[in-house]
Amino acid sequence: MKLVMILALAVFASSLGVVYAKHESRKLFVELDVLKKSRDEMNVQWGRLQLEQSTLATHGRIEERAKKRLGMVTPEFKQIFIVRPVK
């Protein structure tokens, strides 16, 4: 009779362990899903930032800003000198 009680108690404890492990597994899966969604949102934002950076760094835009903000102008042909290194 004692052996049966000990075995029943062991089965009950084992079943509680299974329930606890399953609960933890589900909790971790939900957390993983949230983290994956966060990662995907960050990847989208990173792509947008890269696109914005490439738009802001175009040669035409930089030239336009240099002319407007710094008053720079394209030199005339007579003002351009080609410097070649001495060999």
Q: Concatenated DSSP letters for 66-80?
A: HHHHH---PPPGGG-
pTM to 2 decimal places: 0.59
Q: How confident is the model at residue 6 (pLDDT cuts 50, 70, 90)?
A: very high
Average pLDDT over residues 72-83: 91
pLDDT value of position 87: 79
pLDDT in tens, 38-59: 999 999 999 999 999 999 889 8
Residue 83: count of CB within 10 angstroms of its CB: 4
